[in-house]
Amino acid sequence: MKSLPPLNALKVFESAARHLSFTKAADELHVTPGAVSQQIKALEDYIGSRLFRRTKRALLLTDAAQASLPILREAFDKLEEASRILMARGDSRRITVSVAPSLAAKWLVPRLDRFHERCPEVEVWVSADMEVVDFAVDDIDLAIRYGAGRYAGLEVELLMEESILPVCSPRLLQGDHPIRTPHDLAHHPLLHDGSPDQEDMASTNWAMWLKAAGVSDIDGKRGAKFNQSSLVIEAAVAGKGVALAKSAIALADLEAGRLVAPFDLTTPSNFSYYLVHPASKSRNAAVKAFKKWLHEEAAATGAAGLPRQPAQEAAQ
């Protein structure tokens, strides 16, 4: 019987015993209280006696549990120490993320310090690539890609969906030709997003947008064209015209008031942002932490930015 009890149950027990609360332990371990309860029960069954005395008002440790707790703590401290040693040498303290340049500039980089706050020991290298990278060649840990989600041989998960909306500088709303309906666009230059990933799907194509909006007297090809989404945004911020923008890219400038959305209208894009990486990276501690953070940021972006369009409300 030299076999150890289930190790995860011990970890759960250590946490629950430290907090004297299943719920707090559940928070700490990022699981539900029910999971904690079951782990504790499993351990109690294994050792054949109870670990906690469940009194009316509080949770108390049994003598055996009490006695074992300091030793358990030491054990987990040692495990942590050992794990630090293992991680120190590995590259799990630095990850390289390949991102489309516009998303990097307008979405990722501005919030990167929040990740650094959470995980100071992980260093993030941002590689802004136009093309999809070859993981085998370029030593990339993780890529954020805008597309249809088809990346053969790699693990893919949806990060966030994208939608398209016309944006311009707030100054354009106050000039001689305020923009109220799509027809008013006739008096302003159109700014075109010619980034390569748009070529076939045409979500950010002014001609199609105008047609869908029922406007036939405006030439959809008129105006300047840029090969990166962020440049279109910069042009719009500079008051050069009206851009058909990806919301994630425009979001920061909308929130800062440098851009406004003249119409209460967003159309979903056929493409979305996906996290892509080789299967083996999915177990990497740093990659895991970074992905988790990205998902949280994306959820926050979606909740705050897309559905409610706060900047647009402010402008009207």
Partner DNA sequence: CGTAGGCGTTAGAAAATCTTACACGAACTC
Partner DNA sequence: GAGTTCGTGTAAGATTTTCTAACGCCTACG
Name which of 181 and 280 has its Cβ closer to DNA. Answer: 280
75 binds, among DNA, a copy of itself, none (CB under 5 to 8 A by kind): a copy of itself
Q: Min. distance of Cβ 75 from DNA in angstroms?
A: 17
Site residues for a copy of itself per CB under 8 A: 1-5, 7-8, 10-11, 42-43, 45-49, 51, 62-65, 67-69, 71-72, 74-76, 78-83, 85-93, 119, 121-122, 280-286, 289
Render 167-180 in DSSP notation, one character per residue: EB-THHHHSSS---
Mask of contacts with DNA, 168-207, x by CB under 7 A?
A: ----------------------------------------
Site for DNA in 55-74 (CB under 7 A): 56-57, 59
Which structure tokens are listed for 225?
């064209």
* Category of 171 on φ-ψ map: left (φ > 0), alpha (ψ -120 to 50) or beta: alpha
Among the residue ranges 52-60, 102-110, 115-123, 251-259, the one whose residues contact DNA (CB under 7 A): 52-60
Per CB under 7 A, does 13 bind DNA? no
Q: Min. distance of Cβ 63 from a copy of itself in angstroms?
A: 7
Name which of 4 and 217 has its Cβ closer to DNA. Answer: 4
Name which of 56 and 89 has its Cβ closer to DNA. Answer: 56
284 binds, among DNA, a copy of itself, none (CB under 5 to 8 A by kind): a copy of itself
**b/e code 95-116 from CB counts within 10 Å (16+ = b):** bbbbbbbbbbbbbbeeebeebe
Consecutive H or E run containing 114: helix 109-118
Name which of 86 and 212 has its Cβ closer to a copy of itself. Answer: 86
261/307 Cα distance (integer angstroms): 13
Q: Min. distance of Cβ 21 from DNA in angstroms?
A: 4
Neighbouring residues of 220: CB distance < 8 A, sequence distance ≥ 6: 190, 205, 206, 207, 208, 209, 210, 211
> How is residue 226 annotated by DSSP?
E
Q: Min. distance of Cβ 91 from DNA in angstroms?
A: 18
Consecutive H or E run containing 123: strand 123-128
Name which of 221 and 288 has its Cβ closer to a copy of itself. Answer: 288
According to DSSP, the β-strands at 242-246 and 155-167 are antiparallel
Name which of 45 and 296 has its Cβ closer to a copy of itself. Answer: 45
Q: Min. distance of Cβ 42 from a copy of itself in angstroms?
A: 6
Per CB under 7 A, does 52 bind DNA? yes
306/315 Cα distance (integer angstroms): 15
Residue at 31: amino acid letter:
V
Per CB under 7 A, does 49 bind DNA? no
Q: Is the dihedral of CA 151, 157, 158, 159 positive or negative?
A: negative
**b/e code 158-188 from CB counts within 10 Å (16+ = b):** ebbbbbbbbbbbbebbeeeeebeebebbeeb
Site for DNA in 15-44 (CB under 7 A): 21-23, 29-35, 37-42
CB 208 within 8 A of CB 220: yes
228/219 Cα distance (integer angstroms): 22
List contacts with DNA (CB under 7 A).
Answer: 6, 8-9, 12, 21-23, 29-35, 37-42, 52, 54, 56-57, 59
